């Protein structure tokens, strides 16, 4: 297939790379010269598209632009998304586009309700939602072997995504006809991570205040997962809950709660805990000195924690490990 990404930063570039290694032709659009140069160096000069009007003939166009929080309200800033959607919808009148409209895919994280609004801008072009599930430290690994694949849209859109994702095996897959369900899924998963990492940050601070050696904290964490009901509650403490998607998505989710009259006290507490960490300095030990638990993911067995106890040996500054 002919696959294009509008926005070739972390998400867009790795999306293209994952499809390119599976034999698809990939193309990128970006206002940044550095991003365009990266696309050209990685996929060839022909892969750089300068104008949206050149997208006719594509099978899939992924929108991978920033939706960072507004500095004043904390809500997701959708202004770039809106500009891109307007630009794409204006192409529907072109004969080449009408003969073969691509599937437009909202890959950027947007609040529930966004896809319904954006899809209404198109008369003949199928629109889908397909958020990325990437960790900052493992962007390529999470693109090549996604921890989850989720998408929603009309059948003419999801059938194309079924085809292009057919070689991505092993990932849990959620396909829906509800845009809102898949949009909300991304926010819920990231907010669960944010809350759990915040909780373990506080546990770590408490154990330090009690004067516990770090090896006993690690043993305690490993023991928590030995009980079935707690097997997926462990997260890596350390920096302020991930420093990437988790803070921005938690902020956006809290903005939604405020708009809808939902208190969100637990979510707000996670935000406050980690804001305090940022204001007064991160945890005393780097994450790498604590829990090497699969990059911060859940650990349902003792394997990673057992390996950790060996990994901690000889780590500079890891007193008590």
Per-residue pLDDT tens over the stretch 275-307: 887 777 655 455 555 555 434 444 434 444 443
Average pLDDT of the segment spanning 160-184: 96
What confidence score (pLDDT) does residue 283 get? 53
pLDDT digits (tens, 9 = 90+) for 107-123: 999 999 999 999 999 99
Alpha carbon distance 184, 188 (integer Å): 6
pLDDT at 82 over 60: yes
Among residues of the chain, what percentage have pLDDT more than 90?
53
What confidence score (pLDDT) does residue 317 get? 29
What confidence score (pLDDT) does residue 157 get? 98
Phi-psi region for residue 170, left (φ > 0), alpha (ψ -120 to 50) or beta? left
pLDDT at 270 over 90: no
Alpha carbon distance 169, 305 (integer Å): 27
What confidence score (pLDDT) does residue 244 get? 62
pLDDT at 242 over 70: no
The pair of structure tokens assigned to 46 is 């022909």
Higher pLDDT, 32 or 253: 32
The CA distances from residue 155 to 128, 149, 234, 244, 306, in Å, are 10, 17, 38, 33, 46
Average pLDDT of the segment spanning 163-175: 95
Of 14-18, 72-76, 117-121, 165-169, minimum mean pLDDT range: 72-76
In sign, the C-alpha dihedral spanning 134, 136, 139, 142 is negative
Higher pLDDT, 244 or 215: 215
Of 68-82, 104-118, 213-227, 275-289, minimum mean pLDDT range: 275-289
What confidence score (pLDDT) does residue 58 get? 95
What confidence score (pLDDT) does residue 165 get? 97
The length of the chain is 321
pLDDT at 60 over 80: yes
If you average pLDDT over each of 98-102, 207-211, 292-296, which comes out highest?
Answer: 98-102
Burial of 52 (0-12, 13-18, 19+ CB in 10 A): middle
What confidence score (pLDDT) does residue 305 get? 42
Distance of CA 4 to the CA centre of its chain: 19
What confidence score (pLDDT) does residue 243 get? 57
Is 248:69 a contact under the CB 8 Å cutoff?
yes
Q: At which residue do the structure tokens 């202004």 appear?
A: 79
Query: Considering the chain, what is the average pLDDT of its residues?
Result: 84
């Amino acid at each position: 297939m002919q696959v294009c990404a509008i926005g070739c930063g972390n998400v867009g570039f790795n999306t293209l790379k994952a499809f390119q290694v599976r034999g698809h032709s990939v193309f990128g659009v970006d206002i940044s010269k550095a991003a365009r140069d990266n696309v050209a160096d990685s996929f060839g000069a022909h892969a750089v598209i300068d104008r949206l009007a050149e997208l006719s003939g594509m099978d899939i166009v992924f929108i991978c632009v920033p939706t960072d929080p507004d500095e004043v309200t904390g809500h997701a800033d959708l202004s770039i998304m809106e500009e891109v959607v307007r630009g794409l919808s204006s192409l529907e009148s072109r004969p080449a586009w009408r003969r073969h409209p691509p599937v437009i895919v909202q890959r950027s994280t947007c609040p529930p309700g966004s896809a319904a609004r954006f899809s209404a801008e198109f008369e003949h072009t199928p629109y889908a939602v397909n958020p990325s599930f990437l960790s900052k430290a493992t962007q390529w690994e999470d693109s090549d072997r996604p921890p989850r694949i989720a998408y929603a849209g009309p059948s003419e859109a999801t059938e194309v995504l079924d085809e292009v994702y057919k070689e991505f095996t092993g990932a849990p897959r959620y396909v829906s006809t509800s845009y809102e369900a898949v949009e909300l899924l991304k926010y819920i998963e990231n907010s669960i991570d944010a809350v759990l990492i915040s909780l373990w940050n506080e546990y770590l601070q408490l154990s330090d205040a009690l004067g516990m050696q770090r090896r006993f904290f690690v043993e305690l964490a490993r023991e928590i997962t030995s009980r079935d009901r707690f097997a997926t509650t462990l997260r890596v403490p350390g920096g302020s809950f991930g420093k990437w998607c988790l803070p921005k998505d938690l902020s956006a989710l809290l903005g939604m709660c405020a708009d809808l009259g939902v208190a969100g006290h637990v979510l707000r507490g996670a935000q406050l805990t980690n804001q305090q960490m940022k204001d007064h300095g991160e945890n005393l030990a780097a994450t790498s000195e604590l829990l090497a638990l699969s990059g911060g993911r859940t650990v349902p067995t003792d394997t990673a924690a057992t390996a950790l106890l060996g990994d901690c040996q000889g780590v500079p500054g890891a007193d008590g490990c």
